[in-house]
Structure 1
Amino acid sequence: MRFIRLLFVAVLAIVLIAIALANREMVTLTAFPANFGQYLGGTWSISLPLFLVIFLAILFGVVIGLIWEWLREAHIRRESRQRASQVAQLEREVGHLRDRHAGPRDEVLAIVDRPRAAGGTGTGNPPRPIASPSPAPGTTLPSPGGR
């Protein structure tokens, strides 16, 4: 992308230099129609190279276009600022409501989330033994043959 931008600037510079070299003759610009300036007093004309007149006209058009767009989009910027302030106000209100209406935690969740003591269940009772593959004493299991 940087290469394309550099290429565009180089081509634009070459075109502008070519226009400047081709239009070096002097032209006279007057601010008012023929002989109207004499009624206002002074000379209302200036002599400039033609390429400078062309470049100044382009620059003037760009500036007028930028001002026009800035004025045209003023209502969009105003609405954006209003909506941003509304969003900030609503976020503050939601945070306040969350703090104000934060109810007590559910007892079951409090028990589940309670940190466990080392080796214990967190209830103060000794840990339960892990089940073993051998039967508990005093119990009988059916024989594998079904007898």
Structure 2
Amino acid sequence: MKTIRYAFWAIVGLCLILIGLANRDVVTLRAMPEAVGDLLGLAPDIQLPLFVVIFIAVGAGLMIGFLWEWVREYRIRSDARGKAREVEALKREVAQLRGAAGTGKDGDDVLALLEKTG
């Protein structure tokens, strides 16, 4: 199984290297259109290799997706915590009832009669 995992990550790494080599050209990223930038007197732009832009975009997309899914599953996690608290309370109650039945007080009268005759 480790061999398959290593082979998978080797293929992913090779693909990333090939993407990087194929997209080495420098591109200019602008935060706003040229006309608006000239109008405001601002020109926020940066020059990066295209593969860096691609990797940053994919990473940002993954982070946004993970955050979106985490927020969406809040109700499910909240319900699970509530159920876990309920299970723990029931376990404590069962343990308490078993302890009371074992001491003989407040136990089941039918079981007490069967124990006496048996």
Per-residue deviation, residues 49-99 of structure 1 (Å, max 9, x unmatched): 001001111101110110011011111100000000000011111111222
Q: Unaligned 5+ residue runs, structure 2? A: 106-111
The yes-or-no answer on 1:91 pairing with 2:100 is no
Q: Which residue of 2 aligns with 1:27?
A: 27
Contact 2:23 2:51 (C-alpha < 8 Å) held by counterparts? yes
Ranked by relative contact order (alpha carbons within 8 Å, sequence separation 6 or more), the top structure is 2
Q: Which residue of 2 aligns with 1:70?
A: 70
What TM-score, normalized by structure 2, do the two folds share? 0.82
Q: Quote how far apart the aligned CAs of 1:39 are.
A: 5.0
Counterpart-to-counterpart distance in 2, 1:59 and 1:39: 33
Q: Unaligned 5+ residue runs, structure 1? A: 110-147
Question: What is the identity, as a one-letter code, of the residue corresponding to 1:55?
Answer: F
Q: Greater CA radius of gyration, 1 or 2?
A: 1
RMSD: 1.8
Q: 1:85 to 1:40 in 2, by over 3 A?
A: farther
How many residue pairs get matched? Answer: 109
Question: What is the identity, as a one-letter code, of the residue corresponding to 1:94?
Answer: V
Counterpart-to-counterpart distance in 2, 1:37 and 1:87: 61
Q: Quote how far apart the aligned CAs of 1:107 are.
A: 3.3
Q: Which residue of 1 aligns with 2:79?
A: 79
Per-residue deviation, residues 17-63 of structure 1 (Å, max 9, x unmatched): 11111111100011112322345553311110001001111101110
Residue correspondence of structure 1 range 97-108 to structure 2 within 5 A: 97-102=97-102, 103=104, 106-107=115-116
Counterpart-to-counterpart distance in 1, 2:32 and 2:48: 17
Identity %: 45
